Chains A and B, each alone.
Chain A
Amino acid sequence: MRTLIFRTVAPYLTSLMVLFSIFVLLRGHNEPGGGFIGGLIAASAFAIYGIACGVAPVRRSLYFHPMAISGAGLLISALSGLFSMMFGVPFLTGLWAKLEFGGLALDLSTVLFFDIGVYLVVVGSITSIALALEEREHA
Chain B
Amino acid sequence: MAADGQWLTFLALILPFLGAAVAPLLTRMMGANAAWILALLPLYLFIHFLGFLGAVADGGTVSGGYAWIESLDISFSWFIDGLSLTFALLITGIGTLIVLYAGGYLKGHPMQGRFFSFILMFMGAMQGLVIADSFFALFVFWELTSITSFLLIGFDHVREASRRAALQALVVTGLGGLSLLAGLLVIWGATGENSLSGLLASGSALRDAPLYMAALLLILGGAFTKSAQFPFHFWLPNAMEAPTPVSAYLHSATMVKAGVYLLMRLNPVLGETLAWETILPVFGGTTLIVGTLLAVRQTDLKLMLAYTTVASLGLLVMLTGFGSEKAVEAAVLYLIAHSMFKGALFMVAGLIDHEAGTRDVTKLGGLRSAMPITFAAAVLAAFSMGGLPPFFGFLAKEEIYYGLWTGDGWGLLLTLVALVGNGLMFAIGFAVALKPFLGEKVETPKHAHEGPVLLWLGPLVLASLGLLTAIFSATSHFFLTSPMASAVAGVPVEATISVVPHIGLALFLSLLTVAFGIGAYMLIDRLRGGMVSLLNAIGWGPDKGFDQFVSGSVKASGAITRVIQNGRLDYYTTATFIALALALIVPMVMFGELPAMPKWPDLPFYEWAILAIAFIGLGAILHARDRLTAIVSLGIQGFAVAVLFMLLGAPDLSFTQFMVETLSVVILALVMTRLRLSPADHRPGREKAIDISVAALCGGALALLLLKITQLPFNPYLSEFFAENARVIAHGRNIVNVIIVDFRGVDTLGEIGVVMVAGLAILALVRIRSGKRIPAPAQGEK
Whether chain B is bound by chain A comes out as: yes
**A22 in the interface (beta carbon within 8 A):** no
Query: In the complex the two chains form, what is the Cα distance from A133 to B659 in whole Å?
Result: 18
- The residue from A43, A81, A124 contacting B663, defined by CB atoms under 8 A apart: A43
- Chain A residues with CB below 8 A from B741, complex form: 28-29, 34-35, 94, 111, 114-115, 118
- The residue from B730, B734, B753, B766 contacting A133, defined by CB atoms under 8 A apart: B766
- The residue from B652, B667, B673, B749 contacting A129, defined by CB atoms under 8 A apart: B667
Residues on A lying within 8 angstroms of B by beta carbon are 28-37, 40-41, 43-44, 47, 51, 67, 70-71, 73-74, 77-78, 81, 91-92, 94, 96, 107, 109, 111, 114-115, 117-118, 121-122, 124-126, 128-130, 132-134, 136-137, 139
State whether A29 and B674 are in contact (beta carbons under 8 Å apart), knowing that A111-B741, A132-B766 are contacts in the complex.
no
- Shortest CB-to-CB span from B644 to chain A, Å, is 16
Whose C-beta in chain A lies nearest to the C-beta of B674? A136
Pairwise interchain contact A122-B733, C-beta atoms closer than 8 A: no
Which one of B248-256, B708-716, B756-764 is at the interface? B756-764
**B496 in the interface (beta carbon within 8 A):** no
- Chain B residues with CB below 8 A from A36, complex form: 656, 740
20 CB-based A-B contacts, threshold 8 Å: A29-B733, A29-B734, A29-B741, A30-B734, A32-B655, A40-B659, A43-B663, A77-B749, A91-B746, A94-B742, A96-B731, A111-B742, A111-B745, A117-B752, A122-B755, A124-B756, A132-B763, A134-B670, A136-B674, A136-B766
Output the residue of A35, A37, A70, A73 with the most chain B CB within 10 A: A37
**B738 in the interface (beta carbon within 8 A):** yes
Counting contact residues on chain B (CB < 8 A from A), the size range is: 35 or more
Residues on B lying within 8 angstroms of A by beta carbon are 651-652, 655-656, 659-660, 662-663, 666-667, 670-671, 673-674, 730-734, 736-738, 740-742, 745-746, 748-749, 752-753, 755-756, 758-760, 762-763, 766-767, 770, 772
State whether A132 and B651 are in contact (beta carbons under 8 Å apart), knowing that A29-B737, A34-B734, A34-B737 are contacts in the complex.
no
Pairwise interchain contact B748-A40, C-beta atoms closer than 8 A: no
- Shortest CB-to-CB span from B730 to chain A, Å, is 6
- Shortest CB-to-CB span from A127 to chain B, Å, is 9
- The residue from A33, A92, A132 contacting B655, defined by CB atoms under 8 A apart: A33
Pairwise interchain contact A44-B752, C-beta atoms closer than 8 A: no
Pairwise interchain contact A70-B759, C-beta atoms closer than 8 A: yes
Chief secondary structure at chain A's binding surface = helix
Pairwise interchain contact A132-B762, C-beta atoms closer than 8 A: yes
- Chain B residues with CB below 8 A from A78, complex form: 749
Pairwise interchain contact A137-B731, C-beta atoms closer than 8 A: no
Pairwise interchain contact B740-A74, C-beta atoms closer than 8 A: no
Query: In the complex the two chains form, what is the Cα distance from A94 to B741 in whole Å?
Result: 9
Known: A111-B742, A115-B737, A124-B756. 12 other contacts (CB 8 A): A28-B734, A29-B732, A33-B652, A34-B652, A67-B756, A94-B741, A96-B731, A114-B749, A118-B748, A121-B752, A132-B767, A136-B770
State whether A129 and B763 are in contact (beta carbons under 8 Å apart), knowing that A107-B731, A136-B770 are contacts in the complex.
yes
Pairwise interchain contact A118-B659, C-beta atoms closer than 8 A: no
- The residue from B652, B666, B752, B760 contacting A122, defined by CB atoms under 8 A apart: B752
- Chain A residues with CB below 8 A from B762, complex form: 129, 132
- Chain B residues with CB below 8 A from A133, complex form: 667, 670-671, 674, 766
Query: In the complex the two chains form, what is the Cα distance from A124 to B731 in whole Å?
Result: 28
Query: In the complex the two chains form, what is the Cα distance from A31 to B735 in whole Å?
Result: 9
